[in-house]
């Protein structure tokens, strides 16, 4: 055994003694005599079902009722058509390629142009955003 092994052994014993002293003098030992085993060997709880923990009783007067939702935004027919072109044109091109079907060249070009035109229309008709608005609502 070398000198380092002796020092390491002394340190580990000193650490063990220090931890044991901390644990022995940590505080009051909890009283476990009042605890009763809740399950019998015949009634083992299902390990996959979480235990039911009762929550606080808020009562009816403190129940939260969210405000009604605002009506959905009305979308103009031009913007609706642009969204359809933006989504449907690439999906149709991908679907046609997955099915290994050859579209006529003019139809493929028309789908690409519809996608680009739809995107351009949606960007061009965006409402300018207020620079002081950070999106927070009260």
Q: Where are the domains positioned within the chain? A: 77-124
Distance between CA atoms of residues 1 and 8, nearest Å: 11
Q: Is the pLDDT of residue 35 over 90?
A: no
How do residues 55-101 score in pLDDT, each as one tens digit?
666 666 667 788 899 999 899 999 999 999 999 999 999 999 999 88
**This prediction's pTM:** 0.46
Q: Is the pLDDT of residue 120 over 80?
A: yes
């Amino acid at each position: 055994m070398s000198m380092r092994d002796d020092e390491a052994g002394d340190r580990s014993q000193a650490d063990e003694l220090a931890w044991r002293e901390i644990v022995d003098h940590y505080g009051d030992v909890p009283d476990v005599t009042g605890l009763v085993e809740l399950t019998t060997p015949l009634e083992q709880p299902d390990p996959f079902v979480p235990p039911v923990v009762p929550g606080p009783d808020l009562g009816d007067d403190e129940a939260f009722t969210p405000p009604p939702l605002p009506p959905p935004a009305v979308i103009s027919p031009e913007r609706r058509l642009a969204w359809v072109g933006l989504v449907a044109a690439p999906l149709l091109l991908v679907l046609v390629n997955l099915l290994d079907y050859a579209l006529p060249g003019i139809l493929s070009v028309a789908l690409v142009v519809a996608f680009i035109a739809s995107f351009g229309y949606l960007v061009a008709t965006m409402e300018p955003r207020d620079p002081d608005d950070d999106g927070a609502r009260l």
